[in-house]
Every structure is written in structure tokens, then in C-alpha cells.
Amino acid sequence: MDNLSLIVVIGQNYEIGKDNGLLWHLPNDLKFFKKVTLNKTLIMGRKTFESLPSLLPNRKHIIITSSNYQAEGALVVHTIKEALDYVNNHSDEECFIIGGMSIYQQLLLYAKYLYITKVEATTKADAYFPRFSETEFDISILGENEDNNIKYKFYKYIKK
């Protein structure tokens, strides 16, 4: 889907999280996340939503849950299909899959653009990004940065 993107930070083993939190504190990556997603629509699993400090300003939030979970200021959907229908019916909006693991697993194949921050480190984790076929994408590096001696690069993948 041309209006569906995904954004993620991964370690060298595709690790993305532990104990429902992120693995590294990377202020410059958070700035990148903000710049890329500002004024866009964010699609996330209920657990990732609960890991956020609050609603992220100036972004529409769509939460996927199987329960009757409610969150003020967010749109709640109950199936992956319902989330995809939203994306299809709002072709003027750029929608971003922002995690977590279960949502990346289920929605990765639909995304046209992947913004992947690759951290040049590895650490203990309990959540991982799915392995996928890189040959299906054109890949470029948008830049690189470093926080507290942890280096990382910003990759952009565009589905061919």
C-alpha cells in the first residue's frame, strides 16, 4: 500500500524490545522518529501504546486490540483487516506502523516504505523484528548518528 510505512529501531540481531520497553535510549533517533511521523497516522499494538508516556502530539493514533480496550484521543480497531481498511480508505494520509513485534509481523508485508534505524550493537531482548526479504526493496542510507557511544544508521527501504 503506497500510503503505508513502517518505522522501527533494530539491533544487529533484529532485537527491538525487552519488558515492553525499548532497548537503548537514543535521543537523536527519537528526534528522527518525531520528524518522520509528525502529522501522520500511527498504527500500533495495544502493548506498544501502553509503553508510550502519553499520546504523541500532532499524530493520529490507531490502537489494535482484541479486547474492549479504550484510550481517549485514539481510534481503537479490533482486527488487522480493520486497520488495513482504514489505510485503504484514507489514501491522503501517510500511515506508519510503529510496532510492536506482533504488529510488525502481521503488517510488514503491506508496507511500501520501511524506515529502519540499525543500531551497531546487540543486547538481550524478548521482542524481535521479523526477518524479511531485502531483495524486494531498494535500500538507501539517509544518515547516521550516535548517542552515548552507540552508533546507528537510518535506512530507508522502498518496495520495488
Asked whether position 20 contacts ligand NAP by CB under 6 A, the answer is yes
55: CB partners within 8 A, 6+ apart: 61, 71, 73, 74
68: left (phi over 0), alpha (psi -120 to 50) or beta: alpha
Strand pairing report for 150-159 and 137-147 = antiparallel
Report how many residues bind ligand NAP under the rule CB under 6 A. Answer: 30
In the set 6, 8, 84, 95, which binds ligand NAP (CB under 6 A)? 8
Query: Could you give the CA distance from residue 78 to residue 92 in angstroms, rounded to a whole number?
Result: 23
Return the range that interacts with ligand NAP (CB under 6 A); candidates 17-25, 86-94, 107-115, 142-150: 17-25
For position 61 contacting ligand NAP by CB under 6 A, the verdict is no
Q: Does 116 bind ligand NAP (CB under 6 A)?
A: no
Identify the residue among 80, 93, 108, 112 touching ligand NAP (CB under 6 A): 80
